[in-house]
Amino acid sequence: MRTPIIAGNWKMNKTVGEAVELCRQLEKEVADSPVEVVVCPPFTALSAVNALGLEKVKLGAQNLYFTEKGAYTGEISPGMLVDVGCEYVLVGHSERRELFKEDNQLINKKLLKAVEFGLKPILCVGETLEERQAGETEKVVLSQVREGLAGVEAEKIPSVVIAYEPIWAIGTGETSDGEDANKVISAIRRAVGEMYTPELGGKVRIQYGGSVKPGNVAEFMEQSDIDGALVGGASLKASDFAGIVKF
Ligand code: 13P
């Protein structure tokens, strides 16, 4: 059985004070949930959220660099994330791919470093509208998965989470329908099974992301291969995010 995992990607939002307030409230609202709950605040708020000593809500970062330390102005290392209590880290979010030109090779380096430091990566994959319209969804998404996971040892695969986020559904109010998302996610699971073993393919948790809200989350969570959600906008308000967790 795969434990469902719902994560909030706050993107470039929230001051330290706002982050602390949101997490305090969220911790209370989701305390009894069987779902694994993760928040990914901006780097500046990680330390303060960690200091709250939350028991239910886990901490993730939105990005990392693939080197331990050195002259990389503006970057954050995996060890620094571990130091501030991160358990998870997003890797290869579509905004990183599009706006900051991250490719599968760079994302793979980051993912391998995250795993080496004991962080659990959430590898984000997804197709553009043009790719979908050209019938290339699976081709694009599966190559993101294969290239992103290249070189990850089999024993680490159960700690990897994959988030399928069709780019056209992010922040647009458009969502994939549950069955459609499940088809792509099943294909991702099969691809992981082919890279490793079908058993490991069955262990990896795969989320859907893209305009997930309290009102539509159930449509995704009831699908056979969807194990959770990666939530942007609706994770910025504790009551909305808690509504999603309690789908
Ligand atoms: P929205 O939920 O705002 O569409 O964002 C999705 C996302 O990018 C999460 O990583």
Q: What is the pLDDT of residues 36-51, one digit of tens each?
A: 999 999 999 999 999 9
* 118, HSE (Cβ side, Cα atoms, 13 Å): 8
**Is any ligand 1 atom within 6 A of the Cβ of residue 125?**
no
The rounded Å distance from CA 117 to ligand 1 centre is 26
Q: Among residues 171, 186, 167, which one has the least CA distance to residue 226? A: 186
Record the pTM: 0.98
**Atom 2 in ligand 1: which residue has the minimum CA distance?**
232
**Atom 7 in ligand 1: which residue has the minimum CA distance?**
232
**Tens-level pLDDT at each residue, the chain (247 residues):** 899 999 999 999 999 999 999 999 999 999 999 999 999 999 999 999 999 999 999 999 999 999 999 999 999 999 999 999 999 999 999 999 999 999 999 999 999 999 999 999 999 999 999 999 999 999 999 999 999 999 999 999 999 999 999 999 998 888 889 999 999 999 999 999 999 999 999 999 999 999 999 999 999 999 999 999 999 999 999 999 999 999 9
* Ligand 1 atom at minimal distance to the Cα of residue 172: 4
* Ligand 1 atom at minimal distance to the Cα of residue 212: 2
Q: Strand 57-61 vs strand 36-40: parallel, antiparallel, or unpaired?
A: parallel
**Is any ligand 1 atom within 6 A of the Cβ of residue 121?**
no
**Is any ligand 1 atom within 6 A of the Cβ of residue 212?**
yes
Average pLDDT over all residues of the chain:
97
Options 93, 95, 102, 219, the catalytic residue: 93
**Is any ligand 1 atom within 6 A of the Cβ of residue 77?**
no
Options 29, 95, 131, 165, the catalytic residue: 165
Substitution site in 6, 165, 174, 217 for ligand 1 pocket (most atoms within 8 Å of beta carbon)? 165
Q: State whether the Cα torsion 147-203-35-49 is positive or negative.
A: negative
Q: What is the pLDDT of residues 169-216, one digit of tens each?
A: 998 888 889 999 999 999 999 999 999 999 999 999 999 999 999 999
* Ligand 1 atom at minimal distance to the Cα of residue 170: 4
Angstrom distance (rounded) from CA 163 to CA 189: 12
Separation of first and last alpha carbons in the chain = 18
**Is any ligand 1 atom within 6 A of the Cβ of residue 233?**
yes
Angstrom distance (rounded) from CA 175 to CA 221: 14
Catalytic residue status for 155: no
* Ligand 1 atom at minimal distance to the Cα of residue 210: 4
Angstrom distance (rounded) from CA 159 to CA 88: 10
Catalytic residue status for 194: no
**Residue 150 tokens, joined:** 């290249």
Domains along the chain with CATH numbers: 5-245 (3.20.20.70)
pLDDT the model gives residue 212: 97
Residues 6 or more apart whose Cβ sits within 8 Å of residue 191? 142, 145, 146, 201
pLDDT the model gives residue 102: 98
